[in-house]
Amino acid sequence: MAKLINGKEVSSAVKKKVGDEVLLLKQKGIIPGLAVVLVGDDPASRIYVNNKKKACEQVGIYSVEYTLPAATTQNELINLIEKLNCDSKINGILVQLPLPAHIDEKAVIEAISPLKDVDAFNAVNVGRIMQGDYRFLPCTPAGIMELLDYENIDVAGKNCVIIGRSNIVGKPMAMLMLHRDATVTVCHSKTKNLAEICSRADILVAAVGKPRFVTADMVKDGAVVIDVGINRDKDGKLCGDVAFDEVEPKVSYITPVPGGVGPMTIAVLMKNTITAAKLQNN
């Protein structure tokens, strides 16, 4: 029977450390600030934004939300970002994705100052991650590394397989594992023999966005399984990318959905905001 990797427990530990650092910064007259920009009224995005605001309150970070109508133009959004780039009270800028179809996400991400890009999506920060010389790490992959570290799971020399090659999870996850001396395989929709490749993984990260996609035959006995997916099954029940009930008995560690990777993403966002505040105040 697998040990559940408890994201709520680990995220609480990360947020406790962040809260302590916030107090130290405030003693020096520095109040870390995060601006969250939401365009449109996507219900999932609204939940994420509310959770981020709540986390800011918990750790003592000043937060401000900009809620813009779905009809907001790209220029209007970029003008707001440029204003926030110049605002000394704001250390981190987060534009909630996805954006409405008429707005170019890439152009918006590139408009955010690399020093305030707490999602680490800007090309400058992505390049620094490639080189291993980073200021910030993307929140979900960094959160996964925190989970592995908390459980003392060493990735060095391990065969790590990542299903999914998104800029948000798959690609940066591969880089972080490479920096820790793992042997990494990134699988995607064009991968042949996917089940066979996955079944050789010591650590399997599923970030494909398909409910219960990873089944028991795709997983090696004793593997570590990290489930990044947040989906609804045909009955409307929340589930991950992994068929938990059939995979869990085979593996050594597994993250549940909910309560696994999800809480870590927000905890690392808080950590990145503190890093940004320190960088901007030398």
Out of 15, 96, 158, 202, the active site residue is 96
Spatial CB neighbours of 251, under 8 Å, sequence gap ≥ 6: 2, 219, 221, 222, 223, 224, 225
What is the distance in angstroms between the CA of the first residue and the CA of the last residue of the chain?
Answer: 48
**Active-site annotation holds for 119:** yes
Q: What is the amino acid identity at position 86?
A: C
**Active-site annotation holds for 53:** no
Domain boundaries, the chain: 30-114, 139-261
User: Which contiguous run of DSSP H or E holds residue 81?
Assistant: helix 74-85
| Rounded (10°) angle between helices 139-150 and 262-280 | 110
Summarize pLDDT for 51-89 with one digit per residue, the tens. 999 999 999 999 999 999 999 999 999 999 999 999 999
Out of 52, 158, 171, 271, the active site residue is 52
What whole-number distance in Å separates Cα of residue 210 and Cα of residue 243? 10
pLDDT score, position 233: 85
Fold match between domain 30-114 and domain 139-261: yes
Q: Report the candidate in 40, 35, 43, 88 with the shortest Cα–Cα distance to residue 64.
A: 35
Which CATH code for domain 139-261?
3.40.50.720
Q: What is the amino acid identity at position 280?
A: Q
Phi and psi torsions of 91, nearest 5°: -95, -30
Summarize pLDDT for 194-244 with one digit per residue, the tens. 999 999 999 999 999 999 999 999 999 999 999 999 998 888 888 999 999
Average pLDDT value over all residues in the chain: 96
Summarize pLDDT for 141-162 with one digit per residue, the tens. 999 999 999 999 999 999 999 9
Out of 15, 116, 119, 202, the active site residue is 119
Which CATH code for domain 30-114?
3.40.50.10860
Residue 227, SS3 per DSSP: strand
pLDDT score, position 278: 96
Q: What is the pTM of this model?
A: 0.94
CB 213 within 8 A of CB 242: yes
Residue 209, SS3 per DSSP: coil
**Active-site annotation holds for 52:** yes
